[in-house]
Amino acid sequence: MRKIIAQLFISVDGVVEDPHLWHFPYFNDEMGAAVDAVLGRVDTLIIGRRTYDSFAGAWPEREAAGGEDAPFAKLLGDARKIVVSRQQLRFTWRNSELLRGDLVDAARALKDEPGESRIAISGSVSVVRALLAAGVLDELNLLVHPVVVGKGLRLFEESEQPVPLRLVSSETFETGVLNLVYAPASAPDDAGYEDAKRHLPQEQEQEQVEKREQA
């Protein structure tokens, strides 16, 4: 089964909107490798309309210009791009198509296609939220920047139910960016303060004293 991986630039306070305003000072070779590991090695992208408009307005020109980022731009151009939108769109970027039907059903169908190539999501907050809540997203890659943006759209909004995650890997870049990879997880066991306080240093010391007294 194919995997769906979402990758987002995010600030310490959870902002993911307009990363071009605060992201670039932290872009180095380490982050370039992290981005390439996700977007440079997939043949299918699921993206929202705003992300598509941003990508389509930049990457085709960069590919045509033939600069240092032209090979990466070509990889994105060659990939199948499935755009999530309620509006009919006129596509100018090759290999682009409008998602038909329900997002979650379509994502499950893509995962069931033969092969092991991965499906990537870049940005596209509403898409990430929907697939994460439905349990369809396999990995959530957050590149956490050491900056408080203060305003803008955040990745997570208020929800009636928590979404448990499991940390798969973590890495700290020289710039202070945290490269965190999460996967869906089962809900943790119920616990309260009485359970937690046993792990406090003073509580542990008291337990040791009681054990010595009983010995």
Q: What pLDDT shows up at residue 185? A: 85
Which range of residues forms the domain containing residue 44?
A: 4-187
Type and span of the H or E element at 172? strand 165-172
Q: If pLDDT is split at 50, 70 and 90, which confidence band does 100 have?
A: confident
Q: Are the beta carbons of 121 and 46 closer than 8 angstroms?
A: yes
CATH number for the domain spanning 33: value is: 3.40.430.10
Is the pLDDT at 207 greater than 90, yes or no? no
- Region 153-178 average pLDDT: 90
Q: What are the CA-CA distances from residue 188 to residues 156, 158, 163 (Å)? A: 20, 20, 10
Residues 24 and 5: their CA atoms lie apart, in Å, by: 22
Task: Give the count of domains, the chain.
Answer: 1
Tokens for 187, please give them. 């809900």
Residue 211 lies in a domain: no
Q: Closest by alpha carbon to 137, among 110, 109, 107?
A: 107
Residue 71, classified by CB atoms within 10 Å of its CB into exposed (0-12), middle (13-18) or buried (19+), is: exposed
User: Using an 8 Å Cβ cutoff, are 49 and 81 in contact?
Assistant: no
Mean pLDDT of 38-67: 91
